[in-house]
Amino acid sequence: MEEIIDKTGIPRPKWAVDLVDNFLAKVRSRPMWEMIDFIVSVYITKHPEYLNQPRTSYINKFASTKDKSMRKLLTIPVDLKDTIDWFYKEDIKNIGEVKFWRKFAQRYPNLSPAEKI
């Protein structure tokens, strides 16, 4: 099996390096939301327990806390958020973090405890 030594000095299988290179080229050539749809669909396929989370711990459809001092916009697994941040950190920064995650919550309502955003 052919190997490639990466910049850290670790040998990697050539097929794996080619796979990652092709994936990153696809990520960079496609619209951001199209690729985020793909990333979320892969994650949800592997972790279906994150769909349809119970909304019982909040007092209203806006997912307010009991004292109404805060609202919960998303319940997103850390590794999914980290993956999206890694691929699209600059895009998120340009859009604005709050605006981006609000749009994310609208696109993926099953990952939001709020019924209304």
Output the six-digit token pair for 69: 């001092």
Task: Compute the Cα dihedral for 81, 87, 93, 96 and give only its sign.
Answer: negative
Note the pTM of the prediction, 2 decimals: 0.63
| pLDDT values of the chain reduced to their tens digit, one per residue, 117 residues | 788 888 888 888 888 888 888 888 887 788 999 999 988 888 888 888 776 555 555 555 555 555 554 555 567 778 888 989 988 999 999 999 889 988 888 888 777 655 555
Domain borders along the chain are: 1-30, 31-111
pLDDT of residue 18: 87
pLDDT of residue 95: 92
Residue 86: name the closest of 15, 24, 25, 26 by CA: 24
